[in-house]
Amino acid sequence: MSELWQRCLARLESESAAEDVHTYLAPLQASESDAGLRLFAPNAYTVDAIRERFLPRIATVLEHLAGYPVNVRVDVGSLNASRARETGTGTAARPVRRESREDSNLDPHYTFETFVEGKSNQLGKAAALQVAMNPGRAYNPLLLYGGTGLGKTHLMHAAGNLMRRNNPEVKLLYLRSEQFVSGMVKALAQKNMDDFKRRFRSVDALLIDDIQFFAGKNTTQEEFFHTFNALFEGKQQIILTCDRYPKEVENLEPRLKSRLGWGLSVIVEPPDFETRAAILLSKAQSKGVELPEEVAVLIAKRMRSNVRDLEGALNTLVARSNFEGRLITAEFAQETLRDLLTVHAQAITIPNIQRTVADYYQLRLADFLSKNRSRSIARPRQMAMALAKELTEHSLPEIGDAFGGRDHTTVLHACRTIADFRETDGRLRQDWEKLVRALTG
């Protein structure tokens, strides 16, 4: 069995209740491949329990052990059955192997239905939907970019899943950029680049996650560039994600950067408060958990960085509530998430925002508090005020006070100005996004 899984299991055993180990973890079988780790559970009940209670932790431990994120899938089955399938033994005639459902690596849970729409991700969702409805024709490539844990991967899978629902025969391939790199390295070593090329170029849609990892890897970029051209010319859909605007990724070849801009690039931003609360309620509902609205509000107010952290908080609540047989109330949430919520609340203070924004624009802190009205200082100051309103619980008058005793109407004006600019000025929008990331990441 996979050595990586053995090590992961050892770690989980040391930190989990003996009963959990015995009931859920020990019976799992694992197989490792370029696509990641596949876990086989004896029945659907165990699959659900693993997905619900252990998967986030398993992913964290695997990433820690491997040194990079590992794709994990859990299915009902066994190692023998899976091997028999792969070698074509054990069952009667198999259909000719295509890039079928099993090969695409798509996560069936990531769909448009389970994606909560808000202002921050509206455009990304609309674009992914369009592409899924008209693969190769709407926007090619579609590039979703933005900070970590904001739903880019989810949207990418949702597009893939919808393409498949619309056309079960469609050939799709999803992989993270590291898998593209390691696949290519292996193909080069084994001298079967032709197979490698064919594999990628024969699909109807190629979905590659986190292409910032291509930076500095010249041979990979070269190969990807040719793959891109072949797919583009064949009107095969390309969907990519990146943790920032690709033009800002250093050590990415200019000709590749330029190709990436041929289709549509859409930013996915951190969700606002309402969307964060809605996501929590929706995730809870899909787990069959009753989450009182006040608890969703409590978490959404305090945790602003990304959706993955929100999910983590919810999973912690659910796990403890199951374990202790207690209802999830505001008090229970405060108690369970105390440390997590404090860390998030502490990080963002007005002085912290002032310092971060001043550094970002290379201004002196004293300038924020001064009466200087020159544009080069006033705009960053407005930015800092708007960030203070968005990211802290302080009132307008309190924020005004913290900025050298300004009136609350000045703060309100700053918030409105920045909101307008975020709609119309790409540069300022990127500044905002980067600052939010720096303050909440």
Ligand X SMILES: Nc1ncnc2c1ncn2[C@@H]1O[C@H](COP(=O)(O)OP(=O)(O)OP(=O)(O)O)[C@@H](O)[C@H]1O
Could you tell me if 187 and 223 are in contact, meaning their C-beta atoms sit under 8 angstroms apart? no
Q: Is 152 annotated as a binding residue?
A: yes
Signed CA dihedral, 95, 97, 99, 105: sign only: positive
Closest distance to ligand X from the beta carbon of 283 (Å): 7
Query: Looking at 94-102, 147-155, 177-185, 248-256, which segment touches ligand X (CB under 6 A)?
Result: 147-155
Binding residue for ligand X (CB under 6 A) from 239, 307, 399, 418?
307
Examine residue 249 and tell whether it contacts ligand X (CB under 6 A): no
Closest distance to ligand X from the beta carbon of 163 (Å): 17
Report the residue number, 201 or 308, with the smaller CB distance to ligand X.
308
Query: Looking at 111-119, 128-136, 287-295, 345-353, which segment touches ligand X (CB under 6 A)?
Result: 111-119
Count of positions on this chain that bind ligand X (CB under 6 A): 19
Binding residue for ligand X (CB under 6 A) from 29, 46, 71, 121?
121
Report the residue number, 112 or 262, with the smaller CB distance to ligand X.
112
Closest distance to ligand X from the beta carbon of 114 (Å): 6
Q: Is 263 annotated as a binding residue?
A: no
Could you tell me if 210 and 177 are in contact, meaning their C-beta atoms sit under 8 angstroms apart? yes
Distance between CA 302 and CA 296 in Å, rounded? 10
Report the residue number, 11 or 244, with the smaller CB distance to ligand X.
244
As a three-state string, the secondary structure of the chain is CCHHHHHHHHHHHHHCCHHHHHHHHCCCEEEEECCEEEEEECCHHHHHHHHHHHHHHHHHHHHHHHCCCCCEEEEECCHHHHHHHHHCCCCCCCCCCCCCCCCCCCCCCCCCCCCCCCCCCHHHHHHHHHHHHCCCCCCCCEEEECCCCCCHHHHHHHHHHHHHHHCCCCCEEEEEHHHHHHHHHHHHHCCCHHHHHHHHHCCCEEEEECHHHHCCCHHHHHHHHHHHHHHHHCCCEEEEEECCCHHHCCCCCHHHHHHHCCCEEEECCCCCHHHHHHHHHHHHHHCCCCCCHHHHHHHHHHCCCCHHHHHHHHHHHHHHHHHHCCCCCHHHHHHHCHHHHHHHHHHCCHHHHHHHHHHHCCCCHHHHHCCCCCHHHHHHHHHHHHHHHHHCCCCHHHHHHHCCCCCHHHHHHHHHHHHHHHHHCHHHHHHHHHHHHHHHC
Binding residue for ligand X (CB under 6 A) from 149, 160, 183, 270?
149
Examine residue 279 and tell whether it contacts ligand X (CB under 6 A): yes
Q: Vertex 392, ends 386 and 394: CA angle to 5°?
A: 90
Examine residue 154 and tell whether it contacts ligand X (CB under 6 A): yes
Examine residue 153 and tell whether it contacts ligand X (CB under 6 A): yes
Q: Nearest residue to ligand X, using CB?
A: 151
Q: Is 234 annotated as a binding residue?
A: no
Which one-letter amino acid corresponds to residue 398? E
| Positions 198 through 217 that interact with ligand X (CB under 6 A) | 210
| Positions 217 through 246 that interact with ligand X (CB under 6 A) | 241, 243
Examine residue 115 and tell whether it contacts ligand X (CB under 6 A): yes
Report the residue number, 110 or 245, with the smaller CB distance to ligand X.
110
Closest distance to ligand X from the beta carbon of 35 (Å): 16
Report the residue number, 86 or 117, with the smaller CB distance to ligand X.
117
Closest distance to ligand X from the beta carbon of 213 (Å): 11
Binding residue for ligand X (CB under 6 A) from 32, 48, 248, 311?
311
Binding residue for ligand X (CB under 6 A) from 308, 320, 355, 379?
308
Closest distance to ligand X from the beta carbon of 318 (Å): 14
Examine residue 148 and tell whether it contacts ligand X (CB under 6 A): yes
Q: Is 426 annotated as a binding residue?
A: no
Report the residue number, 32 or 117, with the smaller CB distance to ligand X.
117
- Known binding-site positions for ATP: 149, 151-153
- Known binding-site positions: 149, 151-153
Residues engaged in binding ligand X (CB under 6 A) = 110, 114-116, 121, 148-154, 210, 241, 243, 279, 307-308, 311
